[in-house]
Amino acid sequence: MMLTRALVALVSSLIFVAVPAQATPPQASTPPMGFNNWNAFGCDVNAALIKETADLFVSSGLKNAGYRYVNIDDCWSLRERGADGRLVPDPAKFPDGIKGVADYVHGKGLKLGIYGDAGTKTCAGYPGSLGREELDAQTWADWGVDYLKYDNCNNQSDGSQEDYVRRYTAMRQAIDRTGRAIVYSICEWGTSQPWTWAKGVGQLWRTTGDISDDWPSVRSIIRQNAPLAAYAGPGHWNDPDMLEVGNGGMTATEYRTHMSMWAMMAAPLIIGTDLRAASAETLAILSDRDVIAIDQDRLGVQGRVVSDQNGLMVLDKPLADGDRAIALYNSTDALATVSVATRATGLRGAGSYRLTDVWTGGATQVRSTISAGVPAHGTVVYRVRPLRDPATVPPAVAVGGELGTVVSGGGGELATAVTNRGVGTIRDLAVAARVPEGWTATPTTGHRRARLATDATLETTWTIAVPAGTPAGSYPIDVSAAYRWGPQGRSATTAGQIVAVVVTAPEDGRRHLSTIAPVTSVNGTGPVETDQSNGGPLENDGSLITIGGKVHTRGLGTTTGSELRYYLGGRCSRLITDVGVDDEAAGGPATFTVYADDTATTSGPITSGTTLTADLTGAAWLRLVVASTAAGVHADWATPVLTCGGVPDDSPVLPESRTLFSFESGTEDFTIANPGDGGAVAQSPLFHTDGANGLKVSTPVAGNWFGKALAAPLDLTGATALKFDLKAGDVGTVGEIAVQVGDASSWCQGGLWGWTNAGSSRTVTERFDQLGCPAGVTLDPSRIRGVWVFLNTGGEVHIDDIRAE
């Protein structure tokens, strides 16, 4: 989106007033490094946590590694301002106030950050700073604050970019008038494309929605932030959100990719884990000096995308000493060889190049192609420079491989490829494959080569045999290449790891197909989405599946050109599913075909919905295929149910769900938890996922809890999560769940505050293990005394089917 002339004039005038000429280097001349409590603690923040984290910065070496800011997020204040209009730190959490914490942190040679919001209230419902910018900025300055994260909830915005510029520049001006140097972090989730206007307003700006501690979130954020290199530089950084390293939702490989790609993208490095419980591996990732050096390089250039194809991406980042950082990133689910020609990067011409792996410190040399076998979800980062004498450095040898699906009790074919990218021939090459105990790997083509020249490849095929009874899951196969190099015949070994996926047939029962992972998944646009439509190229960007006005909470959102494969092993009998083009993007027609091995059941070209019933008796494989003459048609498999093991057709569909409130008889006595904050409820047929009615909720701008306190305890023993379906109105809304438990009806909530965009719909989910209770209170699912949902932003929101699952 291009800036209009009027907006350019507005930005220019505001920046001219707000930001006087700065001396070199600018504030935040390199991306800020620090800590923020939100990812690990949510609202559970207090002075002790912040002080202990500051202590750990010093004792663990993080301070010496470059981390400086210890930042407090939401929920630090009282719910109301003081009599003088000022924000008041919660005295129970911060008995010495924020000033006392700031003094302590400063005494460690560190800096303190605080959280505010460019709305009437923060995301968690505490006082916001809209219209109070001057007072709040001066308050923070008086306390000694050094960093402000400024959020975007309850913003009263008309949605225009002009309004975003106005609100965030108002705080910029207020900060400048205090005379205190405060790093200003604009946190509006990339909504108004701040990279196009925020240089000179903030030192950093969020480019995406909130990160979560899982691989799809990190992968999606990389895809959004990586193309924005042109907008970053000293004093103005793209911010893809805080680090999740150490929070437990990803593998070590994925966490290293997280850290690597943030460094390559010159992103702020803000730790989001509990450092008091951090493992040695977590601290090693967070404090790796070679990776941090790339992020903090004084040249201040975000790495540019050199290539991006089929889930493999190469980034190139120039460094101040003349080196280049080259990242080979593999977002796919299998080992892949990622390569880039040196001439495609910014490297100057040379006969050979030295590669230093920033994670291992190992050095190799290449002639003209930088290449590596990169594990699934992994990233290899090299620091590269021209090399005069390649004979002194081992050659770079890439080990790659590919293995199809392996059936328990059967086998598969492994293909390996070993490529010499170094200057000079390698000799006595021998390739080996080490498989799990009880498996066998037998080469069916040559796995040895006397000599392998530069850029030559040895390809080998192997027969893999898997014992019967091997459980479904992922199993490592280590592939190694041993060889000799150089005039003296020095020995070397290069290794890579392939993940073998063993599949087994589904268990007996009737199941929502969206709860079963496909063996392979190919889609025309972006990923196949689970229990939502395919909104576009990113993960989790759709709404609830809707065909002909009917809303489905289960299903698979695809586009034309998609194919999903499931292994059935001859154990399943039927698939029944609604199919059609999603209402969110009318188009088509599309043809839906269910293949039971080679037997097809097809819808023919359709645009509205229909139901397909496919006989799967005896089939080993199930395929779902969508085709059309039109590209990018949003095509849904809605409420697909798979029957296996000969169970009766009236058996319950798993996982079982128990509806608590469906609003068929009215509002079901739903009310508001805080009457003074406003809000109202009414039965409505405009949005429903269970029955013919839902609940229309008129929300106050700052939000309220809507729900019901129960006269008798509700027993939800066996349930693991609570869910409800939501459709936002003309403005987006936060969706959150809380329960009351025990005789005292204590409140337990997760603090996740999931956001739904205007006009979009989704299922909001909160696992019981995500709900935090007050000290001394245990969440007993058999004694639920109240169920509540939080909604906000001052518009109408529709909800339905509050349920336990």
620-634 pLDDT tens trace: 999 999 999 888 999
Query: pLDDT digits over 663-674, tens only?
Result: 999 999 999 998
* Token digits of residue 515: 């709860």
Q: How confident is the model at residue 156 (pLDDT cuts 50, 70, 90)?
A: confident
Q: Are residues 82 and 175 in the same domain?
A: yes
H or E segment to which residue 41 belongs: helix 38-41
Based on the structure, what is the number of domains in the chain?
4
Between 128-137, 315-324, 390-399, 529-538, the lowest mean confidence (pLDDT) is in 529-538
Task: Quote the CA–CA distance of 343 and 322 in Å, as a whole number.
Answer: 16
| Rounded percentage of the chain residues whose pLDDT exceeds 90 | 85
- Of 301, 326, 355, the residue at which a domain comes to its end is 301
Please report whether residue 217 resides in a domain: yes
pLDDT digits 0-9 by tens, 10-34: 443 443 333 444 445 799 999 999 9
More confident residue, 700 or 570: 570
Clarify whether residues 715 and 596 are in a common domain.
no
What pLDDT, in 10s, does the model give residues 769-794? Answer: 888 888 889 999 999 999 999 998 77
More confident: 65 or 537: 65
Does residue 350 form part of some domain? no
Q: With a cut of 80, say whether residue 120 has pLDDT above it.
A: yes
Q: At what angle do helices 5-18 and 161-178 cross, to 10 degrees?
A: 10
707 and 630 in a single domain? The answer is no
The stretch 380-404 carries a mean pLDDT of 95
The mean pLDDT of 299-318, rounded to a whole number, is 97
Residues acting as catalytic residues? 151, 210
Q: Ramachandran region of residue 43, left (φ > 0), alpha (ψ -120 to 50) or beta?
A: alpha
The answer, yes or no, to whether residue 93 has pLDDT greater than 90, is yes
User: Do 607 and 677 contact (CB within 8 A), yes or no?
Assistant: no
DSSP of 451-513:
EE-TT-EEEEEEEEE--TTPPSEEEEEEEEEEEEETTTTEEEEEEEEEEEEEE-PPPSEEEEG
Q: Rounded to a whole number, what is the distance in angstroms from the first to the last CA of the chain?
A: 42
Q: Based on the number of CB atoms within 10 Å of its own CB, is 488 exposed (0-12), middle (13-18) or buried (19 or more)?
A: exposed
Q: Which of 503, 538, 570 delimits the end of a domain?
A: 503
Domain identity same for 615 and 678: no
Residue 9 belongs to what domain range? 5-301
Condensed to tens digits (0 to 9), the pLDDT of residues 142-151 reads 999 999 999 9
- 143-168 mean pLDDT: 94
Closest listed residue to residue 401, CA positions, set 377, 374, 438: 374
Report the pLDDT value the prediction gives residue 24, as an integer from 0 to 100.
Answer: 56
Distances (CA, A) of 186 to 14, 189, 230, 374: 16, 9, 18, 35
Same domain, 589 and 696: no
The string of pLDDT tens digits covering residues 231-276 is 999 999 999 999 999 999 999 999 999 999 999 999 999 999 999 9
**Mean of the pLDDT values across residues 337-366?**
97
**Both 625 and 685 in a single domain?**
no
The answer, yes or no, to whether residue 586 has pLDDT greater than 90, is no
Q: What angle do CA 379, 273, 752 make, to 5 degrees?
A: 105
Pair of tokens at residue 403? 């293995």
Residues 637 and 678 in one domain: no
- Quote the DSSP letter at residue 284: H
Q: What is the mean pLDDT of the chain?
A: 93
Contact 694, 659 (CB under 8 A): no
Mean pLDDT of the region 195-224: 94
pTM confidence score: 0.86
CA separation, residue 654 to residues 240, 514, 571, 749 (Å): 37, 11, 17, 26
Query: Is residue 158 very low, low, confident or very high in pLDDT (cuts 50, 70, 90)?
Result: confident
Residues 668 and 629 in one domain: no
**Residues 177 and 145: beta-carbon distance below 8 Å:** no
User: Is the pLDDT reported for residue 745 higher than 90?
Assistant: yes
Judgement on whether residues 733 and 650 belong to the same structural domain of the protein: no
User: Residue 121: which CATH number?
Assistant: 3.20.20.70
Residues 539 and 623 in one domain: yes
